[in-house]
Amino acid sequence: MIITRILGGLGNQMFQYAAGRALAIANEAELKLDLIEMAAYKLRPFALDQFNIKAAIAKPHEVPAKPKRGFFRKVASAFKHDRLSCERIVENGLSFDSRIPTLRGSLHLSGYWQSEQYFASSADAIRSDFSLKSRLSPARQDVLARIRAATTPVSIHVRRGDYVTSPSANAVHGTCEPPWYHEAMRRMLDRARDASFFVFSDEPQWAKHNLQSSRPMVFIEPQDDGRDWEDMHIMAACHAHIIANSSFSWWGAWLNPRPDKHVIAPRQWFRASDRDDRDIVPASWERL
């Protein structure tokens, strides 16, 4: 059995599921989700149940206890519990750990696993798992129709929100500013002069004011219905992508199965210099 801890926003939940799913496939084992910490998480809801995922919810007794320290560790070891034998695997840093995909046995994954290398071997299965259970809302169906009617639709994701309003989030992540987007659009037009840009943003007015192009631009109004995963799938319907330093737009680009897609991503994923981002962006994507 493989158990993967789920914690964070939608994009992080998807990374955690994907790493666990790929390891479960390699082990020919059942995948279960550890939602113990997620149940107490106040910032984002559990959202993987909107997809056709292949995983059950782990029961509390199946999740290995966190190791105790000092005196409490000795006390805990003196008492037997009924938790199943499952080795805890804790992520050690943001860079890809090549040992993880080779692990075998009953395992519990705890980390963010933000690299395609953890699950590239099972890409087709994971894209299928992340298909939507329900039909798109009518408004999003209209947007999807416009994307499908365009010759070369290109998604642009502008991540603002707490990256701007929260000093701690801004210090870690930072934001992609207008000059970066203008250069990314210029490079995209060098490859596809007939491109149409579809702009997704949590601050659409900022995007409208700061992003301009000689090519058609469609600014997608965010829907206040909590179904953000539908926007991610609309992004994936585009032929190419300009993404922010955001796991949400990372998945919007990755879910696009086109072998000829072109993705432009920020060279600097984190503003904080102590964060290792070398393995977050797939090698086939362009970093700017």
Q: How distant, in Å, are the alpha carbons of 121, 122, 168, 286 from that of 267?
A: 25, 26, 21, 8
Q: Where are the domains of the chain?
A: 2-129, 138-287
| Digitized pLDDT (tens) for each residue of the chain, 288 residues in all | 999 999 999 999 999 999 999 999 999 999 999 999 999 998 889 999 999 999 999 999 999 987 655 433 443 333 334 445 789 999 999 899 999 999 999 999 999 999 999 999 999 999 999 999 999 999 999 999 999 999 999 999 997 555 655 565 565 566 778 999 999 999 999 999 999 999 999 888 888 999 989 899 999 988 888 888 999 999 999 999 999 989 999 999 999 999 999 999 999 887 777 788 899 999 999 999
Q: How distant, in Å, are the alpha carbons of 212, 214, 248 from that of 182?
A: 8, 11, 21
Q: What's the rounded Cα separation, in Å, for the pair 240 and 263?
A: 6
Q: What is the DSSP string of 145-214?
A: HHHHHSSEEEEEEE--THHHH-HHHHHHT----HHHHHHHHHHHHHH-TTEEEEEEESSHHHHHHH---S
| pTM for this prediction | 0.90
- What architecture is the 138-287 domain classified under in CATH? 3-Layer(aba) Sandwich (3.40)
Contact 55/20 with Cβ under 8 angstroms? Answer: yes
